[in-house]
């Protein structure tokens, strides 16, 4: 399997995880049917593609990338879509998460290259 398709699957997993988490926010404690159904479908797709990437990427590395970038992206969605504020400490912490994902991908011999 080539690097592009493995990371493409991981990106798809991240996008659907962010969509699922956004739907969870919109579901308002599972009281709204459509966002709740969207959440379930999005998470199912996210976990399918995450599990597919685990055939080629170690679980710790794949999960770090998936969860780390998911945290950063959902923070931006929260800010721009749901009006949730980020203070300086939150922005710095998100920057550290991005830095950690970059270090894993650029310098670790554990990742798929």
Per-domain residue ranges for the chain?
3-107
Task: Provide the pLDDT confidence category of residue 74 given band limits of 50, 70 and 90.
Answer: very high
Tell which residue, 61, 74, 53, has the closest CA to residue 100: 61
Count Cβ atoms within 10 A of the Cβ of residue 106 and give its class: 0-12 exposed, 13-18 middle, 19 or more buried: exposed
Q: What is the mean pLDDT of the chain?
A: 93
Q: What pLDDT shows up at residue 112?
A: 61
Contact by Cβ (8 Å): 10, 62: yes
Tell which residue, 59, 62, 57, 93, has the closest CA to residue 75: 93
pTM: 0.87
Q: What pLDDT shows up at residue 21?
A: 96
Count Cβ atoms within 10 A of the Cβ of residue 77 and give its class: 0-12 exposed, 13-18 middle, 19 or more buried: middle
For residue 109, pLDDT over 70 is answered with yes
């Amino acid at each position: 399997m080539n690097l592009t398709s493995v990371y493409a699957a991981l990106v798809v997993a991240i996008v659907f995880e962010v969509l699922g988490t956004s739907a969870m926010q919109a579901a308002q404690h599972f009281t709204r049917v459509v966002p709740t159904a969207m959440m379930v479908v999005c998470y199912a797709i996210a976990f399918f593609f995450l599990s597919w990437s685990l055939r080629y990427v170690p679980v710790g590395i794949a999960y770090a990338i998936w969860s780390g970038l998911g945290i950063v992206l959902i923070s931006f969605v929260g800010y721009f879509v749901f009006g949730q504020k980020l203070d300086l400490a939150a922005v710095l912490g998100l920057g550290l998460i991005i830095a950690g994902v970059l270090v894993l991908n650029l310098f670790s011999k554990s990742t798929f290259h």
